Amino acid sequence: MQTRIISLLVEDHPGVLTRMSGMFTMRGINITSLTVSPCETDGLSRMTVAIKGTESELEKVRKQIGNLIEVVKVVDLRADGAIIRDLCLLKVHTKDSDTRLEVMLLAESYGAKIMDATLDSVIIELTEEPGKIDRFVDLMQHFGVKQLFRTGLTAIGRD
């Protein structure tokens, strides 16, 4: 099993997202992450889809995506040739001032921002590549993560 990131330019029509997710369901593929946003061209949207599967499953699904009428362009983004980012917001439990300080120091060392703090919790924002976010979240579990939100990843090819 491996994860593949596919970047798509799609027509900005109602139903495109349903069509896309329906196609994954139909072909038995699990989506790890899917984001949709406007792009540089009017009338088109960019979708970034991360899917997990074997090489041959992923190849099949890439072709099925290409068959969708509203998909204008399909780009396969290899991890080494792309800049990949995910945004994470998490609320970490801080039982006392020592913990709060420790959490804030660790957050700083990861390049995360403190968005809010109360006496018993801190809200942190971290925008990073997904693996680094995973490690940061694991670390914060040690203190107690009350809430976790991730946007799903977006990616851009280097060339």
Interface with other proteins includes 31 (CB under 8 A)? no
Q: CA torsion 38→86→148→37, rounded to 10°?
A: 10
Q: Which is nearer to other proteins, 56 or 97 (CB)?
A: 56
Interface with other proteins includes 68 (CB under 8 A)? yes
**Residue 108: Cβ within 10 Å count:** 12
Interface with other proteins includes 28 (CB under 8 A)? no
Which residue from 1, 14, 42, 105 is in contact with other proteins, where contact means CB under 8 A?
14
Interface with other proteins includes 38 (CB under 8 A)? no
How far is CA 61 from its chain centroid?
A: 19
Which residue from 38, 55, 69, 142 is in contact with other proteins, where contact means CB under 8 A?
69
Q: Which is nearer to other proteins, 12 or 129 (CB)?
A: 12
Which residue from 55, 59, 108, 116 is in contact with other proteins, where contact means CB under 8 A?
59
Site for other proteins in 70-89 (CB under 8 A): 70-73
Q: 32-38 contacts: CB < 8 A, separation 24 or more?
A: 32/3, 33/86, 33/152, 33/153, 34/152, 35/151, 35/152, 35/153, 35/154, 37/154, 38/12
